[in-house]
Amino acid sequence: MDVFSTLKSKLSSGNATIGIIGLGYVGLPLAHALHEGGFRILGFDIDPSKIEALAVGRNYLKHLGEEMTTTLSRSDRFRATADFSRLSEADAIIICVPTPLGKHQEPDLSYVINSGRDIGRTLRRGQLVVLESTTYPGTTREDLLPAMLEAQPKGAEKLVSGKDFFVAFSPEREDPGRKSHNTKTTPKLVGGLERESGELASLMYARAIQHVVTVSTAEVAEAAKVLENTFRAVNIALVNELKMILTPMGIDVWDVIEAAATKPFGFMPFFPGPGLGGHCIPIDPFYLTWKAREVGKPTRFIELAGEINTSMPHYVVDRLAAALNDESKSVKGSKVLIVGLAYKPNIDDTRETPAAEIIEILAGLGADVSYHDPHVPTFPRMRKHTRDLKSIDLSKDVLTAFDAVLIVTDHAAVNWRAIAQHAKLVVDTRNAMKGLGGLGARVVKA
């Protein structure tokens, strides 16, 4: 049998080893889903604490639940390792490493390139490589493939992509904390550098994911992912702008969105907030902005959405300052309690959280800032956040001691009724006080 047919039969029967590079928010649930699909899984990470945790079944991503790590660590079809020479054991290798922005908002592909080099060092005939990290269109062909080929040891046999080995892109659509969809039930886009690569990657995913959509090229799959995240960033900016227009008119933007959402077609509700957070929406659109320069085109929607969304923490603080002013108080010297530190509800992820910037602005103005988040017990200092903080528990006495409560994230586990009853002033960026008006607190939306 030729290389393609051999790999095809291995992947479609489940009798194959899948290497997963990067065992974080994306790689770990993917490892679990492919393990359930019957494959042997070899997980790779440069973080030794993750390898150790998986060896003993300790869960390091709370929102995924205990079952995932327990199942993997007990299985003889799963191993996690930092020994990258073992990449040669894998029939297919999936890359799930970070793709952040650099200092000047430029794509930082160093993690992807490093993984490409790791793979290249042991690349052998009959392997499939799939990139899942979010990136600009062209990365798989123009950046990943050359990194792999250049890392091949001197004197190694020259292998040809699409003939001897196969390369594809499949965007990750994971949405941590979402209950309605998971890795298995979210349709998976796949595009190969060549038709054969797309076909092989699709066969692999089809064993673990209910609906696999094969598109014509890796570039289509890469661009589709950037479109999805840009679509969110632009629409969130639109409702944030609408909020700033409607508020001085005395119109509640949340009521307006709810009203518009009764239209069964041609409208999709997006909700305003205190600013973007997380590893994806604030970052991914700027990968396209960077790539667009290559063809001499501006990305005006992306830039404008970025401008509006990044101004939100300042808008929120201005609303808080005005609300305190109504009570003859200044921000300076006021005690402010931030509720919800994670960037979105019901998870513990604080990457790029707007709460960090809000805390910095308020502290800079002289406020005494504390926070409550049932999912984030401590918030140590980081690059953009300069103080060590600890979550405080809510009680009637605690709530009455603060001049204002500022709601940044609406976790289901927060006692919203207690806040509505006992806080003096609530500045609400999430409509968390809906239906709780008139219980005691003065509520101002922001």
Ligand X SMILES: NC(=O)c1ccc[n+]([C@@H]2O[C@H](COP(=O)([O-])OP(=O)(O)OC[C@H]3O[C@@H](n4cnc5c(N)ncnc54)[C@H](O)[C@@H]3O)[C@@H](O)[C@H]2O)c1
* Binding footprint of ligand X on the chain (CB under 6 A): 21-27, 44-47, 50, 96-99, 111, 114-115, 133-134, 172, 174, 176, 279-280
Catalytic, 96? Answer: no
**Cα angle: 373, vertex 185, 131; to 5 degrees:** 85
The smaller minimum CB distance to ligand X, of residues 26 and 446, is found at: 26
Query: 43 pairs with which residues across the strands?
Result: 20, 80
Q: How far is the CB of 227 from ligand X (least distance, A)?
A: 14
Token representation of residue 141: 């062909």
Q: How many residues does the chain have?
A: 446
Indicate which residue of 93, 168, 223, 280 is catalytic: 280
The smaller minimum CB distance to ligand X, of residues 23 and 189, is found at: 23
Token representation of residue 162: 């699409």
The smaller minimum CB distance to ligand X, of residues 28 and 406, is found at: 28
Asked whether the beta carbons of 425 and 440 are under 8 A apart, the reply is no
The DSSP element (H or E) to which 357 belongs, if any, is: helix 354-364
The rounded distance, in Å, linking the Cα atoms of 325 and 80 is: 56
Q: How far is the CB of 89 from ligand X (least distance, A)?
A: 16
Query: 20 pairs with which residues across the strands?
Result: 43, 94
The rounded distance, in Å, linking the Cα atoms of 146 and 226 is: 22
The smaller minimum CB distance to ligand X, of residues 4 and 84, is found at: 84
Q: How far is the CB of 26 from ligand X (least distance, A)?
A: 3
| The dihedral formed by the CA atoms of 285, 288, 289 and 292, expressed in degrees to the nearest 10 | -160
Q: What are phi and psi of 371, to 5 degrees?
A: -145, 160
Token representation of residue 33: 């889903």
At a CB cut-off of 8 Å and minimum separation 6, what does 171 contact?
A: 132, 134, 189, 221, 222, 224, 225, 228
Asked whether the beta carbons of 145 and 175 are under 8 A apart, the reply is no
Asked whether the beta carbons of 25 and 144 are under 8 A apart, the reply is no
Q: Which is nearest to 359 in space by CA: 406, 326, 420, 322? A: 406
Q: Which residue number is nearest to ligand X in terms of Cβ?
A: 24
The residue written with tokens 């994670």 in the block is 342
The rounded distance, in Å, linking the Cα atoms of 96 and 18 is: 13
The smaller minimum CB distance to ligand X, of residues 34 and 362, is found at: 34
Q: Which is nearest to 12 in space by CA: 141, 156, 202, 155? A: 202
The smaller minimum CB distance to ligand X, of residues 119 and 399, is found at: 119
Q: How far is the CB of 171 from ligand X (least distance, A)?
A: 7
The smaller minimum CB distance to ligand X, of residues 14 and 24, is found at: 24
The smaller minimum CB distance to ligand X, of residues 101 and 244, is found at: 101
Q: How far is the CB of 82 from ligand X (least distance, A)?
A: 8
Q: How far is the CB of 152 from ligand X (least distance, A)?
A: 18
Q: How far is the CB of 31 from ligand X (least distance, A)?
A: 11
The rounded distance, in Å, linking the Cα atoms of 111 and 100 is: 9
The rounded distance, in Å, linking the Cα atoms of 317 and 331 is: 9
Q: Which is nearest to 356 in space by CA: 373, 379, 333, 377? A: 379
**Cα angle: 131, vertex 132, 138; to 5 degrees:** 60
Q: How far is the CB of 29 from ligand X (least distance, A)?
A: 9
Residues with catalytic roles: 280
